[in-house]
Amino acid sequence: MRHTLAVLVENNPGVLARVAGLFSRRGYNIDSLAVGRTDNPAISRMTIVVEGDDRVLEQVTKQLHKLIDVIKISDITADEYVDRELVLIKVSAEPEKRGEIMQIADVFRARIVDLGRRTMILECTGNEGKVKAFEESLRPYGIKELVRTGKIAMLRGSRYTSITTNGSREDE
């Protein structure tokens, strides 16, 4: 089963290497990992999608906790959450195909962010299913290049994954 973990870490150099290294040397499979600073510049947030049964997940969580730079881990898989991924796709777009591609973009509420003589770059945001469907729709036109951010996620409603000043969990 795939699990989505929200992990708050100290924004120290090397923290990504510590987390990524832990996964590889203990043989856990990362599906995706996205990281960036939070509103507090001293703290970064990682969204890690990891594949494994409950036992594996328990070990992943416990081993992550042992890293001094890891402040907090929440497995939000079972909760209601919003998840998004952003993808940029450079697709072949000869002038006669552009109309079709733009229609597809419309359907997925994607945006055209670059127009070359023979290519276009499209930007699409959505959950995994939508991003996958978008990619499949463009495949027949010839995908030249594709880059995605990996999934980021956030709990719905008034619950949140954050730290208070004393570092404890704030759950409502």
Q: Which residues bind another protein (CB under 8 A)?
A: 9-10, 13-14, 17-18, 21, 25, 55, 58-59, 62-63, 65-72, 163, 167
CB of 69 to another protein, least distance (A): 6
CB of 86 to another protein, least distance (A): 28
Nearer to another protein, 42 or 143 (CB): 42
DSSP letter string over 99-157? HHHHHHHHHTT-EEEEE-SSEEEEEEEE-HHHHHHHHHHHGGG-EEEEEE---EEEEST
Nearer to another protein, 18 or 97 (CB): 18
Nearer to another protein, 20 or 104 (CB): 20
Dist CA 105 CA 172 (whole Å): 39
Residue 123, amino acid: E
CB of 28 to another protein, least distance (A): 13
Write out the two tokens for 56: 């594996």
Nearer to another protein, 158 or 165 (CB): 165
